[in-house]
Amino acid sequence: MSRFSDYIKTEDFKKEKHVPVIDLPENIKAGEAFNVEVTVGKEIPHPNTTEHFIAWILLTYKPEGENFAYELGRVDFTAHGASAAGANQGPAYTNPVAVFNVKLLKPGVLTAVEHCNIHGFWESSKDIKF
């Protein structure tokens, strides 16, 4: 029997970048808000066309010593150049970059998951230490 985790990839392939890049401040303090930026295609831009795009980014947090993760937020990217005039002729595009402002009380792990409409689910994680 397959599990959802069997479908999540963590390493890039070809000339496209799918693994979400998590950027954090160098010094994080317990109880103080900070920004987490998640980008798909930071080094090599991911296509953002009507036919091939990043649909969403999800950010979760699993506190150290706990059994469950918390969903911190999800951003949907819904404009990819589609219009009544045809594919890739629309006036708007949303690039796969999301900023989450969070406050954490314990060390733990942030995990970003993204979905490419063609290449599926991709994830990366970053440890949070105080």
What span, in angstroms and rounded, lies between the C-alpha atoms of 113 and 124? Answer: 7
To the query of whether residue 115 is one of the catalytic residues in this protein, the response is no
Does residue 58 have a pLDDT over 70?
yes
To the query of whether residue 16 is one of the catalytic residues in this protein, the response is yes
Does residue 4 have a pLDDT over 90?
no
pLDDT of residue 13: 66
What span, in angstroms and rounded, lies between the C-alpha atoms of 88 and 86? Answer: 6
**CATH class, range 4-128:** mainly beta
| Closest by Cα among 70, 59, 54, 40 to 112 | 59
User: So where are the chain's domains?
Assistant: 4-128
Residue 85, classed as helix, strand or coil, is coil
Per-residue confidence at 8, pLDDT binned at 50, 70, 90?
confident
To the query of whether residue 52 is one of the catalytic residues in this protein, the response is yes
pLDDT of residue 16: 67
pLDDT of residue 76: 98
To the query of whether residue 80 is one of the catalytic residues in this protein, the response is no
Q: What is the mean predicted confidence (pLDDT) over 111-128?
A: 97
